[in-house]
Amino acid sequence: MQTDDRVIQSCKEEILQHFLKIEASEVKPFPGINELFGNLRERGIKIGIATGRTTLPEKEWERFKRFGLQRFIDSIVTSREVASRKPAPDAIVECAKRMNVPIERCLVVGDTEDDIIAARKAGGIPVAILARDDHLDISESEQPEFIFKNLVEFTLFLEEQESMGRR
């Protein structure tokens, strides 16, 4: 039995619509993200999002706007805009380029192995946030430069660095 391409496409679209509906009602930002982004913005540090999502960039801006985070973000790059998805470095490199920040000065924060691999390939400084228990293996497998249990711990680290004159 041969499956019609239109049926497959219709199923994909229906699944995507269900996902977006659930995401809009149930997905919440990580605790501490508003404080972290606010602190970074106050210090004049740029924030870029290099996502593996294949959605339109406008949809990603809408998603961050829904959480009130868009005011902190300087650039969003989706996988749709680059040649290859993570773990390829394309989205990270493009994001740094759009913000006019040398990649070697970028802390590339992620919560998946692909994020850490892509950060290293891009030439950035890989930082792992172990936001959930299922992310604990990142530290063993990819060995990022820095590992934090959550965003609050990461924020405290950044404040400590600034107080020591590092930026």
Q: What is the pLDDT of residues 56-107, one digit of tens each?
A: 899 899 989 999 999 999 999 999 999 999 999 999 999 999 999 999 999 9
* DSSP-based three-state secondary structure for 106: coil
Q: Go through the domains of the chain in sequence order and give each one's CATH number.
A: 30-163 (3.40.50.1000)
Read off the tokens for 40: 């970074």
pTM score, two decimals?
A: 0.83
Q: For the segment 13-28, what is each residue's pLDDT rounded down to a tens digit?
A: 898 788 878 877 777 8
Q: What is 45-70 written as a DSSP string?
A: ---EEE----S-HHHHHHHHHHTT-G
Rounded Cα distance between 2 and 93, Å, is 41
3-state helix, strand, coil in the chain (%, to 5): 55, 10, 35
Distance separating alpha carbons of residues 53 and 45, to the nearest angstrom? 24
